[in-house]
Structure 1
Amino acid sequence: MSTSPVRICSVDELPGPAGAVVADIEGRRVTIARESSGRLHAFDDTCTHANVSLAEGEIEGDRIECWLHGSQFEMSTGIPKQLPATAPVAVHTLTIDETDGSVYLTLAD
């Protein structure tokens, strides 16, 4: 697995003010989510409790809620903040090129 940044999209292509999309990066499904404040996050797309897509969940503040059973994850840390999930999701590094608005992602180990 590469640890080099991969261009995902342009900031303008991401849903807002609060929304999420899924990208397949080197065979790994990753959610790129925007808080209502505009801050961007990237984390593994699969809920650690029920094996469903987190990108389909609701975003409230800095948390995303799994649509199936209501588990909530803090998007910046991946830590579950609401049961039934107890295991965190991996969080990835996002960088934005200020010159052209490109969003780059570096996968976590």
Structure 2
Amino acid sequence: MTAQKALSLSDLTQDTAVRVEIDGVPMAVVLDSNGEVHAIGDTCTHGDISLSDGFVEGETLECWAHGSAFSLRTGRPLNLPAYEPVPVYAVTIDGNDVLIDPAVLKDVN
């Protein structure tokens, strides 16, 4: 698989998550306050809730339902009740296009 256009940079608002789906894989895409674009799995590992409906603060995305915050860089939960990470996808910016390959996870180590 190769990276596909998920959306345009102009579709993103700073510190707000947008839900996209590529090849059946739901993702939350975020333009953080530093201008960096992140893509993480859109489903909270605690309650099967869409993370893109949550709240962005700094480099975290918080699930609106139960308050678990996930690192946009690593996908790791930063507090309970979630204890399993969400996947983090590699993002490429090409002009105004945000490209993501749902088969390629970002190296978070």
Structure 1 Cα separation of the partners of residues 36 and 98 of structure 2: 12
Structure 1 Cα separation of the partners of residues 27 and 68 of structure 2: 17
Write out aligned runs for 1:52-63 (5 A). Answer: 52-63=49-60
Identity of aligned residues (%): 38
After TM superposition, the runs of 4+ consecutive aligned structure 1 residues lying more than 2 A away are none
SS of the residue corresponding to residue 55 of structure 1 reads helix
Per-residue CA deviation, residues 31-69 of structure 1 (Å, 9 max, x unaligned), is 111212221100110000000000011111100100000
- 1:101 paired with 2:100, answer no
Aligned to 2:5: 7
| TM-score normalised by structure 1 residue count | 0.90
Aligned residues: CA RMSD: 1.1
- Segment of structure 1 superposing worse, 33-42 or 69-78: 33-42
SS of the residue corresponding to residue 89 of structure 2 reads strand
Write out aligned runs for 1:1-109 (5 A). Answer: 2=1, 4-15=2-13, 17-97=14-94, 100-107=95-102, 108=104
AA of the residue aligned to 2:77: P
Q: What is the number of residues matched between the two proteins? A: 104
- Segment of structure 1 superposing worse, 27-36 or 86-95: 27-36
| TM-score normalised by structure 2 residue count | 0.90
Residue 29 of structure 1 and its aligned partner are, at CA, apart by 0.7
Preserved contact between residue 6 and residue 21 of structure 2 (Cα < 8 Å)? no
Gaps in structure 2 of 5+ consecutive residues = none
AA of the residue aligned to 2:53: E
Structure 2 Cα separation of the partners of residues 9 and 65 of structure 1: 22
SS of the residue corresponding to residue 52 of structure 2 reads helix
